[in-house]
Amino acid sequence: MTDTSGDTITETPLRIRRATIDHLRPVVELDARITGQAKPEYWADIFERYGSRRVDQRFFLVADAADRPDEPALMGLIVGEVRGWEFGSEPCGWIFAVSVDPDQRQKRIGEKLFRAMCDEFRNVGINTVRTMVQRQSTLHMSFFRGEGMVAGPYIQLEMNLDDA
């Protein structure tokens, strides 16, 4: 089996492309399946911000089945953005979300989404990609470490305002 670029990746022909409004409902459904919480308003806002504004620096990519072009069979998604100068940082790419359909995991779909996002960043002149993972999320940690990410130069600090 091959994807649209000709790589052998998964049993299902895969296409990585920018999300369109047709993907909104499948994205809400996939996220609800994974997190147990439906957030239609949140995703509508993400679509509006990442799908239609500053699209040269904001990327909402989806993986769907290449052989069903009229009916998005969503297999995964990734959302990222170029951000610059916060925290004294040169512009870099941030990945905010990555999710693969639980029935489609460990077929390299997450990896292909990650690499597609890195290509988007490279194409706009960015050479550093960052993300943040919860300490207890060993799955996210294994995935991002497996893709080559390592600890960066920043430490996240926080404080509970009720205790301050």
Ligand X SMILES: CC(C)(COP(=O)(O)OP(=O)(O)OC[C@H]1O[C@@H](n2cnc3c(N)ncnc32)[C@H](O)[C@@H]1OP(=O)(O)O)[C@@H](O)C(=O)NCCC(=O)NCCS
Please identify, among the stretches 15-23, 38-46, 119-127, 138-146, the one whose residues bind ligand X according to the rule CB under 6 A.
Answer: 138-146
User: Is 20 one of the binding residues for ligand X (CB under 6 A)?
Assistant: no
Told to check if 1 binds ligand X by CB under 6 A, we report no
Mask for 107-136, x = binds ligand X (CB under 6 A): xxxxx-------------------------
DSSP tag of 161: T
Min CB(87)–ligand X separation in Å: 21
DSSP 144: H
Please tell me the distance from the alpha carbon of residue 79 to that of residue 59, in angstroms, as a whole number.
6
Q: List the one residue from 97, 115, 130, 149 that touches ligand X (CB under 6 A).
A: 97
* Cβ neighbours of residue 143 closer than 8 Å, sequence gap 6 or more: 98, 110, 114
Query: Does residue 74 belong to the site contacting ligand X (CB under 6 A)?
Result: no
Question: Are 96 and 140 a contacting pair, CB within 8 Å?
Answer: no
Do residues 127 and 94 make contact, with C-beta atoms less than 8 angstroms apart? no
Residues that bind ligand X in the complex, under the rule CB under 6 A: 34-35, 97-100, 105-111, 139-140, 142-143, 146
